[in-house]
């Protein structure tokens, strides 16, 4: 499975309140509307940087830390982000993301800059920075995790297949 897109660069310790502010937790329940506020507390222009289906978030360490707010990965996916690349992820954010079919790739993001073109081979665990013509390693995804991503998450997978074959 392959993913491709352009990098939108962020730093370390991007918490779930940065992804979507807690002030919207109960005020906005429509994900399309909520996605308009993604990352606005750290970059008010962030939504304008997204090209749905063609953008990737590239961050540092500990992406998704903080609360277990499920809206955080949902908003990223609804905004049209293809994948999130980071040096590390908070555990519950990682699990919530895969459950909804959002790809998270752990890799050294220091060699990726804003707007770099990225191609990811999930089978081989290779992140290619096309702009800089360099390859970065990432842990390859097991087949069952790729299937979850292809189906858009665990609920969609179960609806279609009935059980997970590991």
In the chain, domain spans: 2-141
For 131-165, b/e burial (b = at least 16 CB within 10 A) is eeeeebebeebeeeeebbbebebeeebeeeeeeee
Residue 162: predicted pLDDT: 80
> H-helix or E-strand containing 97?
helix 91-100
- Each residue of 37-62: pLDDT tens digit? 999 999 999 999 999 999 999 999 99
The CA distance from 98 to 132, in Å, is 29
- Each residue of 69-113: pLDDT tens digit? 788 999 999 999 999 999 999 999 999 998 999 999 999 999 999
Q: Is CATH 3.40.50.720 the classification given to domain 2-141?
A: no
The CA distance from 139 to 72, in Å, is 23
Q: Bridge-partner residues for 63, per DSSP?
A: 89
Burial classification of residue 27, based on how many CB atoms lie within 10 Å of its CB (0-12 exposed, 13-18 middle, 19 or more buried): exposed
């Amino acid at each position: 499975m392959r993913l491709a897109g352009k990098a939108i660069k962020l730093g370390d310790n991007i918490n779930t309140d940065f992804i979507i502010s807690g002030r919207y937790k109960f005020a906005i329940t429509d994900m399309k509307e909520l996605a308009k506020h993604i990352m606005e507390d750290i970059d008010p222009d962030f939504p304008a940087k997204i090209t749905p289906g063609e953008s990737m978030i590239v961050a540092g360490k500990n992406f998704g830390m903080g609360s277990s707010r499920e809206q955080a990965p949902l908003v990223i996916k609804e905004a049209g982000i293809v994948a999130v690349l980071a040096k590390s992820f908070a555990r519950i954010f990682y699990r919530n993301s895969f459950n909804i079919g959002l790809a998270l790739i752990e890799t050294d993001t220091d060699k990726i800059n804003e707007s770099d073109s990225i191609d990811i081979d999930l089978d081989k665990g290779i992140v290619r920075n096309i702009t800089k013509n360099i390859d970065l390693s990432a842990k390859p995804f097991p087949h069952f995790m790729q299937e979850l991503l292809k189906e858009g998450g665990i609920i969609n997978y179960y609806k279609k297949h009935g059980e997970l074959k590991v």
